Amino acid sequence: MSTKSTKKDRIISFFQAFGKSMLVPIAILAAIGIIVGLTAALNRPQVAALLPFMGNEHVAFILLTIRSISLELFNLIPVLFAISIAFGMAKKEREIAALAGFIAFYVLMFSSSLMVNSDYIHFADTELATFLGVRTINMGALGGIIAGLFAMMIHNKFYNLKLPAAFSFFGGKRSVAIITFVSMAALGLFIPFIWRPIAFGMSALGEVISSLGLFGIFIYGFLEKLMLPTGLHHVIINLFRTTALGGSMLIDGTYVDGALSVVNALVGTVPTQELAIFTRFMGQGRMPIHLFGLPAAALAMYHVTPDKRKAIVKPLLIAGTLSVFTTGITEPLEFLFLFTAPMLFLFHAVMTGIGFVLMAAFNVVIANTQGGIIDFLVFGTMVEDSNWLWILVGGLPYIPIYYFVFKWYLTKKNVVIADGVDGDIFDDAPSTTVNAKDNLVYERAMIIIDALGGQENIVDVYNCLTRLRCDVKDTSLVKEKELKSTKAIGVNVVSNTHVQVIYGAIVEEVAEEVKDALGIA
């Protein structure tokens, strides 16, 4: 393996782990965002007119309480990132890394506040924000990302530090907190002097993207989808949603950065159309795909599947369609054609970019994150001036386009969807007793471990919403056919040392089975 290839693998692996570690808090906040939108929608005069009891002061208080608590969670995005990045990217002893992430963020903010309040540098009030009770420079989510990355690097280097016997108490795990404290205290005093050019650069880049108009929106949507096979799309999405790349707005005397942050701070409190410049980077651009395009593609895939394989493919297509239509999770469906028909995936990425353009051009303002039917109902139909009808106008043409393009291409190229997926090896096995079920679980885990090259080839196993992500020593030892025999929808060999096995909604239980068999915490 060449040095260049090894370096490339390390870079890809780093960003994959980075994107994965940001996914957990964002997934939680996506659910909380629905609550914010629902409480804002229920508090509208139109709802009270339709349902008079909604105007009751006690009901109003309950809605306000739920909304206020939910919004407070969004104020914790930086600290959630700091903890989750340190935890998710730690090699071992992850609970210690998570604590280091919190220490890193708090010390960074507090140390920065001391410099901000000194005579060495001056910041306007609009450049400041309060995090965990500390008034300091407004670094937003990027502050949490920086703290999390520093905590991760310190932890991975020093968690097993050996010191002379006289100082052994301060070695190992304890050294992580100490070194983190000292490092971030120093960085906090220094970072106010370099923050302005960083903030200016991000704002300028965001303005460049905005200046490109609809073409900039297309590039965003296209790249978001194109990067999905590598898992790096999470990085693009979260940077636009939580940093100045997605736009900024002055709210209550403080600049709030990121499309998601601004929208959730203002939804239900300002005219809907004022949020259009931010929602264009959110899930509304995916709705033509999620509600119309991919379900039509699934139907086309079923129609071109040979009769003898339809019984195998049908449940996969139904599960994938329900997943994308209801929750906006697309991987279970996309990985059915990603590797067997990559040109269709390229077409899909282009159509995703066009979907973002159409929604922006139609001034649709649907403040959602996933783009499924739940978001459409809560943030679209229940919100005045959201222009949700344009979702139907722009989305309905996707049905014939996707159906006929997929049917034509798959027929012309004689592509069989999920060709490597045979009948589930567990379908006919007994499952009426606990012992039988436990044996089946153990059997699947051992098949997966063997298909990954054996325990000695496996470095780490973890998962995101739909994929079992496996760091291995050598991906040439991976057996794709065996992996697909365990209900895997697809296998994506990302680099020489990383492979992703797509399981869809069952991925968490599969990951736990494999971790238990490997003895991984």
Active site residue 464: yes
**Per-residue pLDDT reduced to its tens digit, 75-95:** 888 899 899 999 988 888 889
| Residue 456 confidence (pLDDT) above 80 | yes
Q: What is the mean pLDDT of residues 502-506?
A: 78
**Per-residue pLDDT reduced to its tens digit, 339-365:** 778 899 999 999 999 999 999 999 999
DSSP H helical ranges for 43-56: 45-50
Q: For residue 477, what are the contacts with CB-CB under 8 A and spacing of at least 6?
A: 452, 453, 454, 457
Q: What is the mean pLDDT of residues 401-416?
A: 91
What pLDDT does residue 404 have?
96
What pLDDT does residue 392 have?
95
**Per-residue pLDDT reduced to its tens digit, 250-308:** 887 788 888 888 888 887 778 888 888 889 988 899 999 999 999 999 999 999 988 88
Dihedral (C-alpha) 203, 205, 208, 212: value to the nearest 10 degrees? -120
**Per-residue pLDDT reduced to its tens digit, 16-59:** 778 778 767 876 777 777 787 777 777 766 666 777 777 778 88
**520/380: higher pLDDT:** 380
Distance CA 424, CA 447 (A): 13
Instruction: Give the pLDDT band of residue 427 (cuts 50, 70, 90).
Output: very low
**465/459: higher pLDDT:** 459
| Residue 425 confidence (pLDDT) above 50 | no
Catalytic residue among 41, 217, 464, 491: 464
- Secondary structure (3-state) at 505: helix
Instruction: Give the pLDDT band of residue 232 (cuts 50, 70, 90).
Output: low
**17/2: higher pLDDT:** 17
Instruction: Give the pLDDT band of residue 328 (cuts 50, 70, 90).
Output: confident
% of the chain exceeding 90 in pLDDT: 28
Distance CA 25, CA 141 (A): 12
Distance CA 277, CA 359 (A): 11
DSSP letter at 337? Answer: T
Instruction: Give the pLDDT band of residue 186 (cuts 50, 70, 90).
Output: very high
What pLDDT does residue 432 have?
34
Q: For residue 353, what are the contacts with CB-CB under 8 A and spacing of at least 6?
A: 217, 218, 219, 220, 221, 222, 225
What pLDDT does residue 426 have?
40
Domains of the chain: 17-203 (no CATH), 207-412 (no CATH), 434-518 (3.30.1360.60)
Distance CA 316, CA 361 (A): 35
Instruction: Give the pLDDT band of residue 383 (cuts 50, 70, 90).
Output: confident
| Residue 440 confidence (pLDDT) above 80 | no
| Residue 428 confidence (pLDDT) above 80 | no
**305/7: higher pLDDT:** 305
What pLDDT does residue 439 have?
53
Instruction: Give the pLDDT band of residue 431 (cuts 50, 70, 90).
Output: very low
Among residues 398, 414, 396, 406, the alpha carbon closest in space to that of 300 is found at 406
What pLDDT does residue 421 have?
53
DSSP letter at 167? Answer: G
- H-helix or E-strand containing 256? strand 254-257
Rounded to the nearest integer, the mean pLDDT of the chain is: 83
